[in-house]
Structures are given as structure tokens and as C-alpha cells.
A and B are shown apart, each in its own frame.
Chain A
Amino acid sequence: MSTGRTLFGPAFARRFGIAWLAAGYVFLFLPIVSLLIFSFNNSPLPSVWAGFTLKWYAGLARDREMLSGLWLSLKVAFSTACASVVLGTLAAVTLVRYRRFTGRTLFSGMVSAPLVMPEVIVGLSLLLMLVSVQRALGFPERGALTIWLGHLLIGMAYATVVVQARLQDLNPELAEAAMDLGARPHQVFLLVTLPMIAQALVSAWLLTFTISLDDVVLSAFLSGPGSTTMPLVIFSRARLGLNPSVNALASVVIAVVAIGTLTASYLIARAERERARAIAAAQRGDG
């Protein structure tokens, strides 16, 4: 705002901006803070404070249904994240490297559609297909495997977006230089491109892990008897009403995710800085 003729003056605009941002962050973080606080509340009523307690956390440790759900969710999330990063990287490389091939429009449409497609549609259609396959071939039974397939569909789409953004920002001259020095395309990918997109791969892994760990709708369609994931347990309890043990679980999840995300982003930022330093040093010619 370099001009003097502002509507209310620059000071007002500044204060208004700060107030708007502050209100927005309060809106975004209020539910998280309230979950944390009421997980220590010594009353089954969710909004009336009745003193400090740890009983909900103690109850959580004995909650077999929740714990076995958590274990299944962790297994599914881990394998979803790994497979999503592999498929997402292949899809991202395809979209960035190969500008022309038959059916490219269909491909890019199919990659981005799961980002916004309502999950009930994805869940229903995948389930109906798997049931058809099962009737013809006798497998797969509904369970962890079918949940994994569903999560992978969504996870791959997110992983593709994250990796694709990074691939596009790469300086193409680096790959060309490697080619000029005699590297073959896959060598360029493994020795030049892959180390440079490593941070994006870590981000994509963490993101798809979180998405899988959190999913209700796809899991509900694709789970079978005996394969109840943690979000399904939470959802069935939340539908019945409020439950402080859910708050305790939420607090644990929030703490773990917050620590994990902050650590990962700190490490990513540090690696980024080191890389920038190494590049600068190399460009000065003393690397």
C-alpha cells in the first residue's frame, strides 16, 4: 500500500488484517484446544468443568476395542503411505515428464478426481467392484486388504499432488547436465531427481499416513467383520453421544501428530537450508 489515499489509512488496514488472521486461527484451533482441555475433565459431561482427572486416559489403556482398532489403523496407514508414495511418484513423473501420450487427459483427470470426489461414491463403487471380483474368483475377503486398496486410491492422489509440485520446481538444467555427463534416464532419476525430491516424498508419506489413519467412510464400506479401524470405533461412539474417552484418545493423537509434524518440518527445513548452502558453495566453485 504505497499510496497515501487509502480507504481507512494503512494503520487501520494493518490492524484489521491482524484481527482477521487472529480470529481465523482461533476458529481453526478452538476445537483442538477444547478436546485437549476436556480430556482432563472429571465429569462425563463434555462442557462442564468439574476438576482435573486422568481417569479417561487410564480407561483408554484398558479399552480393548479401541486399542485393537488403533493397531489395525496403524498397519493400514503404514502400508497405505508406502504404496501411495510409490504410485504417486510414478504418476507425478508421468505427468511432469511425458507431455504427450495416448489418453493423457483421462489420466490426469483420474489422478485428480479422488481429491474431491465424495468418499461415499468412491467407497460404494470400489466395494461393489470387489464384491463382483470376489463372487467370480473367491477373493478378496473384506478386511484390512480391501480397506488398504480404498485408502491407497485417495492417498495416491494426494501423494501425486505433493510430489508433482516439487518435480515442477526442479531446475531441468540439472537433469540435462547429468544427461550430458552420460547418465541414463533412470540414473538421472535415481541419482539426481530422487535425492532432490526426498523431502516431498517424506511430506507425501506423512500426509497419506494421516489421511488413512483418519478415514471413516471408505473404511466403513470396505471393512469386514473383525476389521474395525480406530476411526470406525470413534465414529460409532460419537454417533451415540459425547464420550470423554474419545477426548482422551484425541489428545493422544493430537500430541503424537503435532510432535511428528513439527519434527518432520524442522528436519525438512534444515535439509532445505543445507541443500541451498551446498548449491551456493558449489556455484562459488569451492564445493
Chain B
Amino acid sequence: MSTLPADFRAAPPASDEAAASVRGARFARLLGRHGRLAVIGIPYLWLLVFFLAPFLIVMKISVSEMENVNFKDLITLKDGVLQLSLRLGNYLYAIHDDLYFATYLSSLKYAAVTTVVCLAIGYPFAYFMARARASLQPALLMAVMLPFWTSFLLRVYAWKALLGEQGWVAEGLMAIGVDHLLVAGGLIPALGKFMNSPFSLVLGMTYTYLPFMILPLYANLSKMDMRLLEAAADLGATPAVAFWRVTVPLSKAGIIAGSMLVFIPCVGEFVIPELLGGPQTLMIGRVLWDEFFSNNDWPMASTVAVLMILLIIVPLAVFSRYQAEAQERRR
């Protein structure tokens, strides 16, 4: 697999090359003018049909009236009168209902706390990775990515046992008395009961999304020009000042990318709250799931989805602008 292409490039037999160019010319005539259109058009069309169109349908269904199992048309022409009927009841309900409102707030809160914790753990981690010996760095990077390649579902599941009664982590935390702190902070319900609490939820989300924070930060920090720090030191900055005024501002792009990669999916997370959060931790992803699978209320589930998109639309815009900018910078 690895040697073949290199050998081919080193000494291509003349006849093969000629055949390839004849084949190529035929290909060119076929594609030629339309090549560009095909390259852009195929993925574009695919995304329009399977990514954008479904959102428009969700928006439509969120304001649709159910008639048995079918949705009524939004626009009807009856007796020469064009009628547009939008059912806003779901939205009014979702906005006025206290439980819904509390759920939005707590989703944002858990996502924000997870992002901050990931940044607090991940920034020093990425920083020390980037400052490690150059020969060690590929292995360190690989080790961050390896858990990411093994099943996310199974790794979250493993925390159930680790935090449960007599679990390794539960025992360890009790041995150093952390559970007293957590109870005092209201993060776990009672001493020694770590599961099904805000603590286990944030821990599970931090664990799952930490590599998403580390990787962009490492990519950013490992490319930093070390001469800038030397210059700062020459100009009289202490290492702490140089870190705060040179390193951190230069890694801003990595901080933003990592934070968005953690925050946005956490807002709508479903699997982790379901396995680790217990019934008390309110998350909007679970509300959507229950409206759809338990209540079979498709318009309400769609309304929740639209409101969730509104919650993440600003971070989403920041993220895609960063992606586009990062791409420009690399060139």
C-alpha cells in the first residue's frame, strides 16, 4: 500500500505513461468544461438537499397543524381566498412554560461550565504538549486521539461503573474528601453518591469533549514563534507576563475554535445526560428526544429543534467564520 505509489513515480514505464495520457485526454474532453461545475455541484447539491432542506421542513412542521397523521398545508386556496395558517401555539407554550425555560437555561449552563472546565484542563495540557521534546510530540498527539477512535458510547458507559458505588473514581474521590466539597457546592445529592448528578454530567461531557479542546489548541500553540517569547524576555517581561500578554493572545484562534467545538454540541447533547445525568439534570436534547419518541409530538419536537438552533446560531456563526479564516491564514 505504501510502497507502490512511490515506485510508480520513481520510474513510470513509458508505455503506461502514454496510455495514461491518452486515457486522460479522453477524460478531459468528457469533463472539460463541466469539470468545475461537477466538482462544486455534487457536494453542494448534496448538502442543499440533505442538510439545508431538512431544516426548512423542520421549521415548517413546527408551525403546522396535525390532522390525524398528516400535516395540513400552510398555504391553502379556498373559495378564492389565499390562506396562510401558522400555528404558533407550540412556540408560545415553549416560551411561557417554566419547565421549558428552565431547561434552556440549564442546557446553556452545563454547556458553558463544561467549556470552561475543558479550557482549564485543556489549555495547560496543549501548552505542555507543544513544549515537549519534538520527537515525543507525535506520540503525545496520537495518545490524545486514540480514545477518540474508540467508541464514545462505551467510554461514557464506563463512567457509570467508575462513579457508581465502589467504583474506582468514586472511592478515590471519597478518600481525598472531594465529595464533601461537591455536596457543599450542590453538585451531588449526598456524600458518596456521584452518579446521576450535575457533577457526573459535567464530568462525562468534559471527558468526551476534552480532545476537541486540546487538538485545535495544540495545533495553534505548536506553531507559535518562540522568538517572540525571547523578545518579550529581552524587553523585560517575566515569564508570567510574557505568557499572559504574548502566548494567550496569539492562541486566541485556538481558544475560540476549541470552545465552540465543545460548547455547541454540548448544548444539544443527549447520550451523556441520558446515561450519566439522571432524571434531575435538565437538558434540551432530552426534551426533544422525549417529545419525539415518547410523546410522538412531531410539531413540538420541531419547535424545540428550532429553538435549539436559535440558542446556538451565534456560536455557530463564530465557529464557521473561524473555520473560513483559519483556511485563509494557512495559504
Contacts and interface: CB of A to CB of B under 8 A. Distances in A.
Interface of A: 1-3, 5-7, 17-18, 20-21, 24-25, 27-32, 34-35, 38, 45-48, 87, 90-91, 93-98, 101, 103, 105, 107-122, 124-126, 128-129, 132, 135, 149, 152-153, 156, 164, 168-169, 183-187, 190-191, 195, 198, 206-207, 210, 213-214, 216-217, 220-221, 231, 234-235, 238-239, 242, 246, 249-250, 253-254, 257-258, 261, 265, 267-271, 274-275, 278, 287
Nearest to A118: B268
B144 A28 contact: yes
Contact of A125 (B36, B55, B260, B289): B55
Given A184-B28, A250-B158, A47 B168 contact: yes
A278 B125 contact: no
B155, B207, B230: most-surrounded residue (chain A CB, <10 A): B155
Contacts of A48: 166
Nearest to A237: B157
6 contacts: A34-B161, A113-B51, A116-B265, A117-B268, A242-B164, A257-B149
B275 interface: yes
B238 to A, nearest CB: 6
Nearest to B289: A120
B308 A121 contact: yes
Interface in B271-328: 271, 274-275, 285, 288-289, 292-293, 298, 301-302, 305, 308-309, 312, 316, 319-320, 323-324, 327
Interface of A, secondary structure class, is helix
A246 B154 contact: yes
Contact of A24 (B1, B46, B121, B289): B121
B187 interface: no
A62 B149 CA distance: 27
Main secondary structure of the interface of B (DSSP, over half): helix
A278 B305 contact: no
A91 B161 contact: no
A249 B309 CA distance: 36
Contacts of A3: 233, 238-239
A94 B51 contact: no
Interface residues of B, number: 108
Contacts of B260: 116
Contacts of B129: 21
A95 B267 CA distance: 29
A113 B288 contact: no
Contacts of A213: 151
Contact of A35 (B154, B271, B288, B302): B154
A186 to B, nearest CB: 6
Given A124-B292, A125-B305, A31 B158 contact: yes
Contacts of A135: 70
Nearest to B17: A191
B146 A47 contact: no
Contact of A121 (B36, B239, B309): B309
A112 B319 contact: yes
A217 B271 contact: yes
B211 A187 contact: no
B297 to A, nearest CB: 12
A1 B146 CA distance: 30
Contacts of B153: 214, 216, 231, 234-235, 238
Contacts of B164: 46-47, 242
Contacts of B143: 25, 28-29
A7 B265 contact: no
B154 A125 contact: no
Nearest to B51: A110
Contacts of B24: 183-184, 186-187, 190-191
A220 B292 CA distance: 11
Contact of A95 (B127, B131, B327): B327
The 5 closest A-B pairs by CB, nearest first: A118-B268, A31-B158, A271-B2, A125-B54, A46-B161
